[in-house]
């Protein structure tokens, strides 16, 4: 059978070019969700089976089982099934569902500790093997300077991927389906030959690339074998919808067997799959119920993705997330809506299979999306709190129309750009360091070059800004250097062979920096400028507290006096980062995203001039601080919308919680309010919004009795979590966040 029958030919038929294939062949859908199907009997049965597994996992303390005998790889395990004969989309990470694999390539000690935390012990064979192997973690710590270690220890740089894998790279898994592995291998071999010839001097950079390609080729072969073990021949292109989904899922599965990075996003697959579904439905070989069943089964598999993590890791990223981010919707560069029926089908899984944190369904919102889709999304948000929204109208300008979101808010062109993930720098601590002449306010270490310690006299804004600029500039340089070390070592010892094989050989690299404490720093500077702030020193002579007298404008009230400070903070730090060259020619990007680590960052930070006391949580992402936005939800959105995406190309995360009653009396009113709100927010070039429509009381009830709402899903900074998987401390923090409610 001709795999490409009925498809419009173009540049994609002469070389790897999935974007061209999509643009020539997708069918926009302008209607509503009326066509959608519920679950088939088989899906019901499979879904029940998965629910039971999830309950068992939860009852065992979060980890159902660990395979301590083998090191994770594509061919390490026999084929696994939820139930053989019932699974449609085949493939599990290990030989049984929810059994976690050991993957020590990024950090051996981490793997050992993760096993021990759940009562397991790594086998002597693996231990012996890794005695003679350098991991990414070992490499990094061989090279870290004293200053890097100090900054890391103090928590100014935190969450760095130096002991765990970096993640955030999205393989173009669609290539497996569209071209088949044999073609892709042939293309890579040709690339390798070309790279070997084109460099007159055979520089280190070229040698490294050649070795990378050789590693990629090896794993492309293994992927074929992995699929063959499941009885599938992916050497050839997929011939129908089922195969297209299965083939691309194999690509994804191979990638997450090899890698255990933080975020394991799957890309922009719905519009791609839809092209096959439209063709098969037209040919009479697929019904709507069957199409939905395929998506349901894929999503069930994606809900089972797991990595083995240490408890410390969970402090940073609560709720055991894997960020199987799946991007839906958007608009093509020639202005056509890329909403297809399959975008609806993915959202429909939240009704068929119930609300869930994963996959991380991400709607690429544009003001020009069809009303039927906008209304459906809003309804799904109101019913499930399981989706996030990102502004396609700003991202399309920079990333075109075949980008996808990795993790929470990181856009990249699929198969053409990859990212060096860089966690974040705590800017609130940088301010405290500047006031303390380079010393850390908690540990007292001299981290940065020694400077003037401010007196216990009311602070002068201009003097503070001068000091802050000096230290932020120093910090930015240290941050880039630290990242360069990390990613050099990650490329060397834990290179993503399969994921990178599904990228163009001459890939564009982004180095994604991040900041936390943006709103704390902003309000602190505003307090220094508009109120009277007097530092208080402790017995070590270190400023550990502040007396703040008088009122000051606070970020989150659409007040330019302070919002301009926020803009400056972001703009300044980004441009300082750009002054230091990034590893492998990467381009600097920046995010304002904390995931759930805002609680941990707060713990590590002393009292700040805005009135926040030592240890108290930061606001998540780019959110205003809790309870400081006094003019309601839209004022808060307007403040965040002012931050410039051009300096935050890795995303600006904002989480929004509202009670259903605030949005309207009826479902129809609520959908209308929510879509109008999203349109209004994004029309101002805002980037991202997590939407939760729920009652504070419901969360309090769920905290006190987790059995009441077993699948209660809420959106936190850039992803969704099952509320019951959060620690009590994080649950309380979520509950204390500003809820926009109408009395």
List interacting residues with another protein (CB under 8 A).
Answer: 558, 630-636, 638, 658, 661-665, 669-670, 672-673, 676-677, 679-681, 683-684, 740, 742-743
In the complex, minimum distance from the CB of residue 563 to another protein, in angstroms, rounded to a whole number: 11
In the complex, minimum distance from the CB of residue 741 to another protein, in angstroms, rounded to a whole number: 10
Q: What is the DSSP letter of 240?
A: S
In the complex, minimum distance from the CB of residue 701 to another protein, in angstroms, rounded to a whole number: 17
Nearer to another protein, 86 or 560 (CB): 560
Structure tokens at 666: 């009826």
Nearer to another protein, 545 or 667 (CB): 667
Strand pairing report for 424-426 and 157-158: antiparallel
Which distant-in-sequence residues (6+ apart) come within 8 Å of 596 by Cβ?
A: 316, 317, 318, 319, 620, 716, 717, 721, 726, 730
In the complex, minimum distance from the CB of residue 564 to another protein, in angstroms, rounded to a whole number: 14
- Catalytic residue chosen out of the listed positions 115, 326, 377, 407: 407
DSSP 663-678: H-SSHHHHHHHHHHHH
Nearer to another protein, 129 or 679 (CB): 679
Q: Which of 412, 418, 588 is nearest to 504 (CA)?
A: 418
Rounded Cα distance between 384 and 378, Å, is: 10
- Asked if residue 594 lies in contact with residue 603, where contact means CB atoms within 8 angstroms, the answer is no
In the complex, minimum distance from the CB of residue 742 to another protein, in angstroms, rounded to a whole number: 6
Classified as helix, coil or strand, 477 is: helix
Nearer to another protein, 9 or 742 (CB): 742
Instruction: Characterize 682-698 residue by residue with b for buried, 16 or more Cβ atoms within 10 angstroms of its Cβ, and e for exposed.
Output: beebbbbbbbbbbeeee
Please give the distance of CA 334 from its chain centroid, rounded to a whole number: 28
Residue 221: burial class (beta carbons within 10 Å; 0-12, 13-18, 19+): middle
Structure tokens at 280: 């098969």
Nearer to another protein, 586 or 686 (CB): 686
Structure tokens at 504: 């163009």
Rounded Cα distance between 513 and 487, Å, is: 12
Q: Which of 157, 148, 149 is nearest to 429 (CA)?
A: 157
Nearer to another protein, 586 or 633 (CB): 633
Structure tokens at 108: 């051996």
In the complex, minimum distance from the CB of residue 393 to another protein, in angstroms, rounded to a whole number: 12
Q: Which of 596, 534, 691 is nearest to 159 (CA)?
A: 596
In the complex, minimum distance from the CB of residue 583 to another protein, in angstroms, rounded to a whole number: 40
In the complex, minimum distance from the CB of residue 736 to another protein, in angstroms, rounded to a whole number: 18
Q: What is the DSSP letter of 524?
A: H
Q: What are phi and psi of 568, to 5 degrees?
A: -65, -45
Nearer to another protein, 127 or 676 (CB): 676
If one counts every other C-beta atom within 10 angstroms of the C-beta of residue 229, the result is: 15
Q: Residue for token digits 């995010």?
A: 591
Q: Which of 269, 215, 218 is nearest to 89 (CA)?
A: 269
- Asked if residue 294 lies in contact with residue 534, where contact means CB atoms within 8 angstroms, the answer is no
Structure tokens at 419: 């990212």
Nearer to another protein, 556 or 611 (CB): 556
- Asked if residue 393 lies in contact with residue 407, where contact means CB atoms within 8 angstroms, the answer is no
Residue 617: burial class (beta carbons within 10 Å; 0-12, 13-18, 19+): buried
Nearer to another protein, 83 or 561 (CB): 561
Is residue 408 among the annotated active site residues?
A: yes
**Taking phi first (over 0 means left), then psi (-120 to 50 degrees means alpha), and beta for anything else, what does residue 284 get?**
left
In the complex, minimum distance from the CB of residue 370 to another protein, in angstroms, rounded to a whole number: 16
Q: What are phi and psi of 235, to 5 degrees?
A: -70, -25
In the complex, minimum distance from the CB of residue 347 to another protein, in angstroms, rounded to a whole number: 23
Nearer to another protein, 488 or 552 (CB): 552
Rounded Cα distance between 387 and 326, Å, is: 10
Nearer to another protein, 487 or 688 (CB): 688
In the complex, minimum distance from the CB of residue 669 to another protein, in angstroms, rounded to a whole number: 7
In the complex, minimum distance from the CB of residue 30 to another protein, in angstroms, rounded to a whole number: 19
Adjacent-strand bridge partners of 535: 546
Is residue 377 among the annotated active site residues?
A: no
Nearer to another protein, 57 or 558 (CB): 558
Q: What are phi and psi of 212, to 5 degrees?
A: -55, -50
The H-or-E segment that residue 722 falls in is: strand 719-722
Rounded Cα distance between 695 and 689, Å, is: 18
| Beta strands, E only, 538-686 | 543-549, 587-592, 655-658
Classified as helix, coil or strand, 230 is: coil
Structure tokens at 132: 């003679």
Please give the distance of CA 392 from its chain centroid, rounded to a whole number: 17
- Asked if residue 502 lies in contact with residue 176, where contact means CB atoms within 8 angstroms, the answer is yes
Rounded Cα distance between 254 and 218, Å, is: 13
In the complex, minimum distance from the CB of residue 740 to another protein, in angstroms, rounded to a whole number: 6
Nearer to another protein, 608 or 638 (CB): 638
Q: Residue for token digits 């935390």?
A: 117
- Catalytic residue chosen out of the listed positions 326, 343, 377, 408: 408
Catalytic sites, residue numbers: 407-408
């Amino acid at each position: 059978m001709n795999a490409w029958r009925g498809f419009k030919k173009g540049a994609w038929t002469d070389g790897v070019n999935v974007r061209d294939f999509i643009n020539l062949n997708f069918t926009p859908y302008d209607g509503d969700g009326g066509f959608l199907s519920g679950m088939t009997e088989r899906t019901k049965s499979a879904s029940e089976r998965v629910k039971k597994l999830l309950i068992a996992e939860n009852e065992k303390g979060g980890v159902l089982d660990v395979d301590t005998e083998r090191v994770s790889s594509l061919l390490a395990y026999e084929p696994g099934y939820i139930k053989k004969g019932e699974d449609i989309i085949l493939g599990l990470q290990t030989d049984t569902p929810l059994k976690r694999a050991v993957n020590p390539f990024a950090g051996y000690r981490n793997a050992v500790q993760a096993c021990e935390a759940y009562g397991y012990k790594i086998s002597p064979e693996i231990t012996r093997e890794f005695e003679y192997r350098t991991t990414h973690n070992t490499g990094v710590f061989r090279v870290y300077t004293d200053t890097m270690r100090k900054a890391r220890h103090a928590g100014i740089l935190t969450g760095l991927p130096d002991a765990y894998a970096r993640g955030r790279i999205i393989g173009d898994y669609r290539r497996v389906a569209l071209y088949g592995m044999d073609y892709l291998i042939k293309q890579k071999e040709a690339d390798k030959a070309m790279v070997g010839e084109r460099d007159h001097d055979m520089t280190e950079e070229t040698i490294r690339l050649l070795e990378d390609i050789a590693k990629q080729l090896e794993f492309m072969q293994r992927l074929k074998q992995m699929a063959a073990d499941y009885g599938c021949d992916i050497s050839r292109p997929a011939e129908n919808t089922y195969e297209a989904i299965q083939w691309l899922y194999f690509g994804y599965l191979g990638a997450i067997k090899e890698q255990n990075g933080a975020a394991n996003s799957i890309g922009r697959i719905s519009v791609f799959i839809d092209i096959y579904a439209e063709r098969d439905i037209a040919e009479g070989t697929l019904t709507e119920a069957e199409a939905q069943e395929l998506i349901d089964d894929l999503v069930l598999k994606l809900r089972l993705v797991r990595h083995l993590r240490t408890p410390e890791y969970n402090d940073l990223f609560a709720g055991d997330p894997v960020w199987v981010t799946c991007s839906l919707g958007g608009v093509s560069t020639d202005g056509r809506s890329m909403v297809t029926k399959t975008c609806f089908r993915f959202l429909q899984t939240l009704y068929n299979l119930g609300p869930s944190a994963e996959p991380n369904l991400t709607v690429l919102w544009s003001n020009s999306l069809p009303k039927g889709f906008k209304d459906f999304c809003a309804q799904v948000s109101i019913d499930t709190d399981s989706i996030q929204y990102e502004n396609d109208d700003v991202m399309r300008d920079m990333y075109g129309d075949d980008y996808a979101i990795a993790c929470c808010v990181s856009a990249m062109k699929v198969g053409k750009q990859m990212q060096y993930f860089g966690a974040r720098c705590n800017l609130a601590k940088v301010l405290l360091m500047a006031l303390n002449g380079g010393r850390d306010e908690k540990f007292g270490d001299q981290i940065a070059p020694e400077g003037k310690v401010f007196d216990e006299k009311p602070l002068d804004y201009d003097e503070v800004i001068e000091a802050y600029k000096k230290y932020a500039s120093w910090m930015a340089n240290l941050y880039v250097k630290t990242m360069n070390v990390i990613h050099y070592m990650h490329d060397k010892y834990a290179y993503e062979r399969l994921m990178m094989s599904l990228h163009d050989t001459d890939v564009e690299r982004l180095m994604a920096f991040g900041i936390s404490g943006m709103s704390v720093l902003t309000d602190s500077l505003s307090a220094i400028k508009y109120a009277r702030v007097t530092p208080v020193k402790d017995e070590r002579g270190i400023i550990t507290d502040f007396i703040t007298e008088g009122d000051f404008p606070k970020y989150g009230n659409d007040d330019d006096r302070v919002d301009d400070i926020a803009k400056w903070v972001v703009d300044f730090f980004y441009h300082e980062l750009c002054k230091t060259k990034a590893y492998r020619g990467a381009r600097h990007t920046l995010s304002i995203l904390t995931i759930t680590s805002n609680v941990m960052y707060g713990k590590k930070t002393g009292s700040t001039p805005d009135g926040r006391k030592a240890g108290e949580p930061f606001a998540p992402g780019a959110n205003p601080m809790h309870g400081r936005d006094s003019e309601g939800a839209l004022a808060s959105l307007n403040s965040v919308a002012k931050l410039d995406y051009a300096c935050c190309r890795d995303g600006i995360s904002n989480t929004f919680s509202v009670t259903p009653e605030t949005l309207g009396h009826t479902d129809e009113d609520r959908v209308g309010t929510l879509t109008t709100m999203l349109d209004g927010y994004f029309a101002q070039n805002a980037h991202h919004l997590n939407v939760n429509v729920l009652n504070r009381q419901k969360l309090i009830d769920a905290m006190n009795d987790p059995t009441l709402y077993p699948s209660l899903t809420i959106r936190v900074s850039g992803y969704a979590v099952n509320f019951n998987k959060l620690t009590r401390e994080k649950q309380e923090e979520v509950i204390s966040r500003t809820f926009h409610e109408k009395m």
